[in-house]
Amino acid sequence: MIIQFCPQLRGDTLSLSRAGDRLIVNGDTIDLSATPDGAELPADAISNDWLVGTVRRIADVLHLTLILPHDADAPESVRFPADIVDPADGPITLPGEA
């Protein structure tokens, strides 16, 4: 799984964890296991507003983009976040988190 981020200045927060092909976004589980290799799902097919852009499974790796909320004085690592590549199951440390 490769998670990219779309940083947005906004007041809410994001918590993220992974369980295989399932991503839990602020408590809402997004099960992407039905996306076969080579396929893609537009964001509007998934009822979760944190997910933006198209979800793709390329070479058996899921690629997706999530909104990353931040405040006005967020560090560069949050405003220009690195991708998270192949996170382990469990809670995911987001850019800017210790």
Partner 1 sequence: MATIDLSKLVTADMKAAQTRQARIAAIIAERERRLGVGFAYDFGDTRGVHRIATSEQDMRGWDEVTKIANAMLALNDPVSTIDIVTEAGPVQVTAIEWQHILIAAAAFRQPIWTASFALQAMNPIPLDVTDDQYWL
Per-position x/- string for 36-65, each x denoting binding to partner 1 as judged by CB under 8 A, each - no binding: xxxxxxx-xxxxx-----------------
| Two tokens, residue 87 | 């996170």
Burial class of 30 by CB neighbour count within 10 A (0 to 12, 13 to 18, 19+): middle
Residues touching partner 1, count (CB under 8 A): 20
Q: Rounded CA gap, 50 and 26, in Å? A: 9
Q: How far is the CB of 58 from partner 1 (least distance, A)?
A: 10
The three-state secondary structure class of 32 is: coil
Q: How far is the CB of 83 from partner 1 (least distance, A)?
A: 22
Residues that bind partner 1 (CB under 8 A): 25, 28-32, 34-42, 44-48
